[in-house]
Structure 1
Amino acid sequence: MRVRTLAISATLAGFLVSTAAHAETLNLLIWESYIDQKILDRFTETTGVAVNQIFYDSGDARDEILSDPNSNIDLAVVGENGAELFGKRGILEGLTQANVPSLTGYRPDWNARCAGYGLPYLWGTMGIVYRSDKVKTTPTSWTDLMVPAPELKKHIAMYDDHNEAFIAPLVLLGKSINANDTETLKAAFEVMKTQAPFVLTYDYVITSIQNPDTGKEIYMAIAYSGDQHVLNEKAGTPGVWRYAVPKEGTLSWLDCLAVTADSPRKAQALQLLDFIGSPENAAANALALTMPTASEAALPLIPADMLNDPEIYTPADILAKSQYQKELSVQSIQTRRRIISAMANFQ
């Protein structure tokens, strides 16, 4: 799987270098279908500055690009853990209410989770997406994904990111999702190895669903909350993909929108960040993506039925059982990546 990630990075690097000369274009590194294009269009109409989206499909791929000093990225969506790590390494610009006034609309605890290097963007959980026309019973446990029913063999999509790939097995084992010790990771490996024959692909589900060779064969996958809406759009069948959070608990995640410290268009990048973070645009983005905004000031602009939808705004009892990602040791990351690479041997 590392070959695929490196190939993505090489392709992007060539593309980004080719756009370096265009001073009126900002390069935004982001997940696919993760911002309302209308907001970017309004920014361009207002400022004359175009925004070019560059998609990644794993945190590892994103991190390789951000670590490249020649990547020519101006803004990026990173996880809360990544915001702190890349910020401390001098890769991300420090943010305050002085350079991003819209930060005043966010609660101090949300801002703290982005460590002063990102605008709190969207948040949610990790769980199970499933095709309701193929999987008739709603999954309620990580066991439904990690020890699948026989009829799901070669209909499961997992994820080869060194963080997210271990959430299901570690939570199922009652362990921390941030485990570093070899004994715990070996136990997770055994769970993953048993599941491997049922797995069709280890590509992110939104990527793999668009593969004509495998997309229609995916019935269940690990995914982020909100992915079900993108999957339904890709499938062209409203409501067929659904999302469930297992009873054992899960990852509670926050994405942060950050500006790179070396951006040659830093003033425009900070302007775009502030534009996206305004209450009106944060609310419009949340409505367009059917996802929860982290902007406290935007909440009065969100319809009550959306605020009360547990698939969008995760209930407090589930969040109480959820965990945040923390920095992993280098050895843990290396071990996790070796385990992921080994999964192909057991499929």
Structure 2
Amino acid sequence: MVYPRCRDFLLITLCATTVQSVAAQTLRILNWEDYLADEVIAAWEQQSGWQVEQVFYDNEAERDLILANKAVRNIDLVVIGDEIIQRMGKAGYLAPLTEQYVEGLAPIWQGSCGDYGSPYLWGSLGIAYRTDKVDQAPANWKDLLYPIGAWQNHIGMIGQYDELLGPAMLAMSLDPMSNDEGHLKRAFELLKRQSESVLTYEYAPSYLSVATPEEQEELWVTQVYSGDEYTLNDLYGSQVWQYVLPEDGVLLWLDCLAVVASSSNQQAAQEFIQFLGKSAINALDSESVGVATPSLTAKSLQSEEFASDQVTYPPADVLAKARRYKPLDSENIRLRTQIKDALIRYHDSK
């Protein structure tokens, strides 16, 4: 069973708690939408006898609020980024894993999920554009942040502090994870100027999923995570969205699978993580959702077309220059959150 995307924290809490009356043999996963293949769920249910239910979130702040809410007791697993997993684990929201379960894990991802998670899928933060609307494809973050006039009110940005500030700092040749207040202020000023051209700060798949046909036509260029272009094309009903890796800096992310500390099904949750780590399952799941696997063994089982795709699996020279998301200290998070909130208030006041 799948629960619809919940649009705010209160509604997500209600969505999560409405499933309490369902049979006990159920694993509930807090996840991004379209991020776990139906075929994989069906295979697990047949093998284990457990049912899988998903509760969707569409931004990380919502997810973290759910995990921190002591009233929510029926979420068993969560998909969570490696840059925050240790902080959430040490805060008591996640249960330690006895081992990481991915077969043939690539060296770059070794140890990334720490003591509380197992690597799931990885990708990049980049730009998607409408091939039928944009004459010249964006090549870098500068194109998005210093937009041409034709893009006025047709740009989408992800309204989260890390996704907003990282690319802005890369566009100015700064460290995207910098805690320098001067760097953050410069990034804010750039984003503030760009906001005159921004249509929405809502995550593009969420925006398009509720937009009218007329509103869908207004979004031409947007920040997305790799793999989102498939969702955007499905939502639009035509293959018009294309993804590009920015030439002035690629940000890489890794999602981990973790067991929620308050879960009463921790053994089954760990078994599900182990199941997803099997090479054949991981290969199927990764290719079905259109996102890269961290397993070299699983990648070797994927179709040549998918495994050789240089957007999904960037070439070595791109990876060598790419930046990883990394844990930020509390003060850096506070400053970035203030900037994000001020930016969106400024945009909405116009």
Scaled to the shorter chain, the TM-score interval is: over 0.9
Compute the displacement of 1:199 (Å): 0.5
Compute the displacement of 1:329 (Å): 2.7
Match of 1:288 in 2: 288
**Alignment-mate amino acid for residue 281 of structure 2:** N
Asked if structure 2 preserves the Cα contact closer than 8 Å seen for 1:124 and 1:314, the reply is no
Match of 2:25 in 1: 24
Match of 1:125 in 2: 124
- Equivalents in 2 of 1:39, 1:297: separation in Å? 18
SS of residue in 2 equivalent to 1:313 = coil
* TM norm structure 1: 0.92
**Alignment-mate amino acid for residue 57 of structure 2:** Y
SS of residue in 2 equivalent to 1:20 = helix
- Equivalents in 1 of 2:7, 2:151: separation in Å? 30
Greater displacement, 84-93 / 155-164? 84-93
Asked if structure 2 preserves the Cα contact closer than 8 Å seen for 1:77 and 1:257, the reply is yes
**Alignment-mate amino acid for residue 276 of structure 2:** I
Match of 2:340 in 1: 340
Compute the displacement of 1:30 (Å): 0.7
* TM norm structure 2: 0.92
- Equivalents in 1 of 2:276, 2:244: separation in Å? 29
Post-superposition Cα deviations, 1:81-133, rounded to whole Å, max 9, x if no partner, equal: 12221222232222234xx6x43432454240111321211111111100010
Asked if structure 2 preserves the Cα contact closer than 8 Å seen for 1:123 and 1:293, the reply is yes
SS of residue in 1 equivalent to 2:170 = helix
Compute the displacement of 1:46 (Å): 2.1
**Alignment-mate amino acid for residue 80 of structure 1:** D
Residue segments in structure 2 that go unaligned for 5+ positions in a row: none
Match of 1:50 in 2: 51
SS of residue in 2 equivalent to 1:210 = helix
Match of 1:92 in 2: 94
Asked if structure 2 preserves the Cα contact closer than 8 Å seen for 1:27 and 1:53, the reply is yes
- Equivalents in 1 of 2:47, 2:295: separation in Å? 22
Greater displacement, 114-123 / 329-338? 329-338
Match of 1:154 in 2: 153
Asked if structure 2 preserves the Cα contact closer than 8 Å seen for 1:283 and 1:298, the reply is yes
Residues 53-68 of structure 1: pairs in structure 2 closer than 5 A? 53-68=54-69
Residues 1-347 of structure 1: pairs in structure 2 closer than 5 A? 8-22=8-22, 23-71=24-72, 72-97=74-99, 102-107=101-106, 109-213=108-212, 214-238=215-239, 240-343=240-343, 344-346=345-347, 347=350
Post-superposition Cα deviations, 1:151-175, rounded to whole Å, max 9, x if no partner, equal: 1111001011111111210111111
Asked if structure 2 preserves the Cα contact closer than 8 Å seen for 1:167 and 1:250, the reply is no
Change (3 A) 1:277 1:265: same
Asked if structure 1 preserves the Cα contact closer than 8 Å seen for 2:103 and 2:295, the reply is no
- Equivalents in 2 of 1:118, 1:110: separation in Å? 12
Change (3 A) 1:173 1:70: same
Change (3 A) 1:200 1:303: same
Asked if structure 2 preserves the Cα contact closer than 8 Å seen for 1:84 and 1:115, the reply is yes
Compute the displacement of 1:345 (Å): 1.9
Compute the displacement of 1:300 (Å): 2.1
Instruction: Give the aligned CA root-mean-square deviation in angstroms.
Output: 1.9
**Alignment-mate amino acid for residue 328 of structure 1:** L
**Alignment-mate amino acid for residue 58 of structure 2:** D
Greater displacement, 85-94 / 311-320? 85-94
Compute the displacement of 1:66 (Å): 1.2
Post-superposition Cα deviations, 1:15-64, rounded to whole Å, max 9, x if no partner, equal: 22232343212110111111101211221222221111111111111111
Asked if structure 2 preserves the Cα contact closer than 8 Å seen for 1:209 and 1:216, the reply is no
SS of residue in 2 equivalent to 1:264 = coil
- Equivalents in 2 of 1:210, 1:109: separation in Å? 34
Compute the displacement of 1:255 (Å): 0.7
Change (3 A) 1:130 1:289: same
- Equivalents in 1 of 2:6, 2:204: separation in Å? 19
